[in-house]
């Protein structure tokens, strides 16, 4: 392994380079990837609560909601077709994220991004100009396909951007990012992408609020079509931005990659970083059977976490709020305007609490945040269930919420969102990314993404039907899962804060339960980038 770079103040490796316009522009485009993902999460609930949109596409729901005063409040929005409008995106995202990494490897990240951008543009336009329900669904499916591709590329760039802000220059293949980041800031850097998602959700909620006021009731077209702005930036960005050196190296174009690296870094001497990139690429290509590896006994803890962490993240019930906050607020008696405004409030709390997580994750640790966030969510779910139950009972008798009652409900939903946004939200992605050794990383990461998308889809699809049947008890179902996941974290999840990736094996070896699977000398494979890089730095 070549010795490369120089040792930065914290003992981590840094490469020479300048903050070139290329890097800055890449970051703007990357931020768009998170933004558009968030935008699509936040936009559908708002338009669903706009009467003009409902009247046009879902007249039966509209009638129940507006005209039939005797309707059970809990069941106003119970329509599988309506929820398919939100949920279909996640099935498409699941499928495309399964193929995106292969496409990126074969054709380079530039084409992947272009492809993602075009799908986004098409999806946003079809949605914005929709005349029939099928156009809404097809549009959402195209957006979902786009997400698989764009995420693959953008998630990486945004972390690189944050690394640059820390003056630690880095440019590595996607899956190495957690390892290459200085471990003291690993958590904070990783949460950067989550932050751009939460900003996207908030932008969608603010736009919904204003577009709903447009006279003539066509504001929803602007809401849905608005996604075309970040989509165009991604598309044009992919045309203007050259391919990255990593991507060229992966496809054997070494000389071209070196020239490109010089341009990107703005310095002539890039040989150390280049050698490291080549070595990293060789190491990752030498792994032949990541799926079979994952099934080996010593990777049982990793496999368990790859499945359970995203499963639990979705079972917090967060997307009930992210997707359906305006619908939920409407259901409990808010006007359209108040519902959309309340969604803006919860969206703002989501962004602010993510910033708290960035600040605290490497200070207070993952376990503390998981357990604190879980307790907070649990209390709020119980209070919200009690408030809604007390007002609407089990038969959902329609009625207005007194103002103070509404304020209590929104306040507790905000405290719940804050609890999620500094715990399971970002950590649901961060913890898996830092515990998988290279030998299993691609397979384990695919499992995490797939499990997340499957359960996002399921929650999006069945929430409104569950609300109709379980009533306020639905919040208690999620509360139950929050108890289970907190116990799971307490018993089974070791702390990973401040532990260099190459030493991660130690956390399992010293764990009371997982140690029986990971025996001394068994863990690790000498293939970990973090390990080789750090060895490299010692020789400098």
Q: Which residues bind ligand BGC (CB under 6 A)?
A: 41, 194, 197-198, 201, 313, 318-319, 322, 350, 425, 428, 452, 456
Using the minimum distance from each CB to ligand BGC, give the nearer residue, 270 or 430: 430
* CB contact set of 346 (below 8 Å; sequence gap of 6+): 205, 321, 325, 410, 413, 414, 417
Round to whole Å and give the CA distance between 510 and 54.
56
Using the minimum distance from each CB to ligand BGC, give the nearer residue, 245 or 373: 373
Using the minimum distance from each CB to ligand BGC, give the nearer residue, 83 or 319: 319
Round to whole Å and give the CA distance between 179 and 187.
11
With contact defined as beta carbons under 8 Å apart, do 52 and 65 qualify?
no
Using the minimum distance from each CB to ligand BGC, give the nearer residue, 50 or 325: 325
Question: Hey, what are 180's tokens?
Answer: 């290459």
Question: Hey, what are 25's tokens?
Answer: 């522009």
Using the minimum distance from each CB to ligand BGC, give the nearer residue, 208 or 313: 313
Neighbour count for residue 240 (Cβ, 10 Å): 11
Taking the complex as a whole, how short is the minimal distance between the CB of residue 314 and ligand BGC, in angstroms? 6
Tokens 């300048």, residue located: 18
Give the total residue count for the chain: 540
Taking the complex as a whole, how short is the minimal distance between the CB of residue 361 and ligand BGC, in angstroms? 14
Using the minimum distance from each CB to ligand BGC, give the nearer residue, 325 or 466: 325
Taking the complex as a whole, how short is the minimal distance between the CB of residue 430 and ligand BGC, in angstroms? 10
Taking the complex as a whole, how short is the minimal distance between the CB of residue 322 and ligand BGC, in angstroms? 4
* CA 370 to chain CA centroid, nearest Å: 17
Taking the complex as a whole, how short is the minimal distance between the CB of residue 20 and ligand BGC, in angstroms? 31
Task: Please report, for residues 148, 313, 371, the alpha-carbon distance to residue 379 in angstroms, rounded to integers and kept in the order given.
Answer: 35, 17, 12
Taking the complex as a whole, how short is the minimal distance between the CB of residue 532 and ligand BGC, in angstroms? 31
Taking the complex as a whole, how short is the minimal distance between the CB of residue 319 and ligand BGC, in angstroms? 5
Using the minimum distance from each CB to ligand BGC, give the nearer residue, 223 or 350: 350
Round to whole Å and give the CA distance between 319 and 54.
21
Round to whole Å and give the CA distance between 8 and 267.
18
With contact defined as beta carbons under 8 Å apart, do 248 and 108 qualify?
yes
Q: What angle do CA 467, 325, 469 make, to 5 degrees?
A: 0
Which helix (H) or strand (E) segment holds residue 27: the answer is helix 21-48
Taking the complex as a whole, how short is the minimal distance between the CB of residue 306 and ligand BGC, in angstroms? 15
Round to whole Å and give the CA distance between 50 and 219.
9
Using the minimum distance from each CB to ligand BGC, give the nearer residue, 133 or 352: 352
Give the single-character DSSP code of 437: -
């Amino acid at each position: 392994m070549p010795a490369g770079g120089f040792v930065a103040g914290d003992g981590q490796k840094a490469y020479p380079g300048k903050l070139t316009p290329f890097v800055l522009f890449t970051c703007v485009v990357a931020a768009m990837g998170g933004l558009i993902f968030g935008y699509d999460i936040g936009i559908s609930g708002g338009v669903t609560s706009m009467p003009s949109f409902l009247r046009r596409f879902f007249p039966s729901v509209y009638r129940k909601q507006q005209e039939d005063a005797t309707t059970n409040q809990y069941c106003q929005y119970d329509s599988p077709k309506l929820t398919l409008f939100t949920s279909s995106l996640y099935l498409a995202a699941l499928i495309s994220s399964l193929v995106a990494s292969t496409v990126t490897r074969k054709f380079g990240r530039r084409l992947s991004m272009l492809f993602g951008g075009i799908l986004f543009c098409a999806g946003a336009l079809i949605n914005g100009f929709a005349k029939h329900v099928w156009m809404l669904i097809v549009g959402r499916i195209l957006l979902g396909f786009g997400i698989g591709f764009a995420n693959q590329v953008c998630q990486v760039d945004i972390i690189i951007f944050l690394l640059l802000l820390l003056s630690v220059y880095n440019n590595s293949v996607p899956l190495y990012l957690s390892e290459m980041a200085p471990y003291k800031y690993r958590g904070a850097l990783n949460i950067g992408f989550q932050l751009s998602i939460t900003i996207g959700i908030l932008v969608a909620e603010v736009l919904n609020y204003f577009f709903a006021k447009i006279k003539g009731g066509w504001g929803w077209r602007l809401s849905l079509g608005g996604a075309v702005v970040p989509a165009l930036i991604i598309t044009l960005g992919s045309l203007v931005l050259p391919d990255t050196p990593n991507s060229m190296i992966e496809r054997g174009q070494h000389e071209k990659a070196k020239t490109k690296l010089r341009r990107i870094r703005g310095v002539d001497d890039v040989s150390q970083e280049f050698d490291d990139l080549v070595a990293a690429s060789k190491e990752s290509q030498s792994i032949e059977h990541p799926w079979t590896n994952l099934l080996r006994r010593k990777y049982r803890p990793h496999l368990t976490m790859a499945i359970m962490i995203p499963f639990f993240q979705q079972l917090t019930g967060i997307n009930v709020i992210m997707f359906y906050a305006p619908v939920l607020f409407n259901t409990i008696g808010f006007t359209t305007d108040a519902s959309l405004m309340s969604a803006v409030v919860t969206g703002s709390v989501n962004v602010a609490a993510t910033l708290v997580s960035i600040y605290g994750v490497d200070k207070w640790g993952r376990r503390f945040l998981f357990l604190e966030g879980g307790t907070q969510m649990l209390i709020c779910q119980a209070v919200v269930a009690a408030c809604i139950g007390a007002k609407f009972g089990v038969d959902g008798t329609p009625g207005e919420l007194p103002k103070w009652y509404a304020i209590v409900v929104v306040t507790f939903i905000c405290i719940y969102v804050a609890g999620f946004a500094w715990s399971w939200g970002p950590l649901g992605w961060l913890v898996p990314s830092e515990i998988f050794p290279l030998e299993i990383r691609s397979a384990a990461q695919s499992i995490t993404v797939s499990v997340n998308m499957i359960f996002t889809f399921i929650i999006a699809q069945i929430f409104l039907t569950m609300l109709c049947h379980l009533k306020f008890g639905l919040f208690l179902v999620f509360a139950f899962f929050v108890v289970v996941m907190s116990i799971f974290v307490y018993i089974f999840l070791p702390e990973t804060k401040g532990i260099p990736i190459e030493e991660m094996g130690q956390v399992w070896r010293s764990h009371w339960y997982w140690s029986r699977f990971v025996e001394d000398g068994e863990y690790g494979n000498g293939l970990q980038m973090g390990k080789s890089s750090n060895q490299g730095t010692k020789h400098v």
